[in-house]
Structures are given as C-alpha cells and as structure tokens.
Copies of this chain bind each other. A is one copy, B any other.
Amino acid sequence: MLPEKITSLQNPRIKQLVKLRERRARDEAGLFLIEGYREVRRALEKKIRIGELYFSPEWFLGENEPALIEQARQAGAQLYELSKEAFAKCAYRDRPDGLLAVAPQWKLGLDEVALGAVPFVLVVESIEKPGNLGTILRSADAAGVDAVVVCDAVTDVFNPNVVRSSTGVLFSVPMVLADSATVLAWLREKGLRVVATTPDTPVAYTQADLRGPLAIVMGSEQFGLSDFWLGASDTRVRIPMAGQADSLNVAMATLITLFEAVRQRSG
C-alpha cells in the first residue's frame, strides 16, 4: 500500500506538525518532533517508537532515505508523503532534508535509574537554552554518567533544538525530570556526594575529590545555582579561568567538570 500523499497546506496533519513546534502543543499531545535524516536514523537505532514519518523526496539530500523510510515502516511508523510546499511548511530547520517524524515523549522516574557500582550522576538546574541542554547531554554521554537529572526544567527537553543539538543522545542517555527537593532526597538516600559548581569558592574543581558515589550539580546560565543546591552541597568547586569572564558557558563548564571526574575516577 502506498503512503497517503498530502499536498494541501490546510491538511490537519500539516497543522498539527506546525503546532508541535510549540511546547504547549507537545505537552498536551505527549508527542515531539524528530527532524532530519541523522536524527530519525538515531531514533530508530535507539528503538524510539516513531508513530508517524513524513517525507518529501524533493527535499532529500542523499540516496539512503528510502531505506530509512522502509525501516521506519517496519518498526510500525505510519508513512505520509508530502509535497515540496507542504514539507516546507512543516519543516523546523532552515535547510530541511525531507524527513520529519513524530514520536511519543517518555518519562523516566528516579526509581528507574540504574546506578552503577560507583554511581555518577549529573544534575542540572533550570537550564534555559535548548542548545546548551543538548550539548550537556552529549558531554554526559561521553563521560558515561548513569543519568542526567534535570531539576525544575525551564527548557522543554523535547524542544526540537534539544533533539538536534544533542545529536540523538536524547534518545539514549537516561534522563529524569524532577523537582530539586525530590532529587536531593534521592541523592542522599543513594549515598551520593553532592558537588556544586559556583564561582564563589576558592576550591578549584581539580582539588576536590571527585571519586566515589558522586553527583555534579550545575546551575542555570543566568543565575547559576540556587541557594537550595549551594546549601545542600557537600563540596563547592570553581573552574579557575583566564581571559574574559564569560568565556566558559554552562555547557563548557559542565564538560570540563565531568571529564575531570572521569580522570579521577579512572585513575
């Protein structure tokens, strides 16, 4: 059976795809968008259950798209072919490549996190920019943390820019959304030491002991860590830096701290 072909810009499916760019529509529907060849491929690799796959051959950049579409179909996705104009209306990116999927959001609970023998968790508080959250997820993946816990989320973790900037890590790294008080209680119960990063301490991140059961806590771009987390921390560390004050953003600071922990823990 050939997939349904949509050419009308008034088609309700087109309208829904455009709406899903907005957080409220995503939250209400419990769905999110996965745009682009690389991202759809990664989602399928990670067994994300794609409900609908929209494609538009006139936008394809390569030759492997039909195989990927067939793979999605076999995994249970409904297929819809869009005209060039219809796809242009739905595409979120500046340079669309003719593939756009819709998948259900998921929710992982703290009690579902599989902690390693020596637990290693990243906690981020109220990150604002989707691009930073995506980069942080990549860093956490590369560092091999057990989970990323997003406290008091400001950015929707299913924002299309998180999907994109995480290069698909969103589909694989265990990520939990929770409020700070619940997270702290969980960390205490599991016996993790809480290390908070802040400019307001003389202790360099390289001087602190980052071995053993560990949670590294990073604050938001604009406000840094809240008093709650600064007060709850067992250790506060800073990253000494030369140059202009804002050269390191929160994503860069997270990467540096995570890899210092990896260094110490593998030594």
Residues of A within 8 A of B (CB): 135, 138-139, 141-144, 167-169, 172-173, 206, 239-244, 246-249, 252, 255-256, 259-260, 262-263, 266-267
Contacts and interface: CB of A to CB of B under 8 A. Distances in A.
A23 B142 CA distance: 35
A243 B206 contact: no
B247 A167 contact: yes
Oligomeric state, in copies: 2
A166 to B, nearest CB: 9
A252 B143 contact: no
B142 A172 contact: no
A247 B141 contact: yes
A173 B242 CA distance: 11
Contact of A173 (B139, B144, B243, B266): B243
A252 B139 contact: yes
Contact of A169 (B144, B169, B247, B259): B247
Contact of A241 (B142, B206, B242, B263): B142
Contacts of A139: 247-248, 252
Given A167-B247, A169-B247, A247-B169, A252 B138 contact: yes
Nearest to A252: B255
Contacts of A266: 206, 240
A60 to B, nearest CB: 21
Contacts of A263: 206, 260
Nearest to A131: B131
Given A252-B255, A255-B256, 14 more contacts: A139-B247, A139-B248, A141-B243, A141-B244, A142-B242, A143-B241, A143-B243, A144-B243, A173-B243, A239-B259, A240-B266, A255-B255, A256-B256, A256-B259
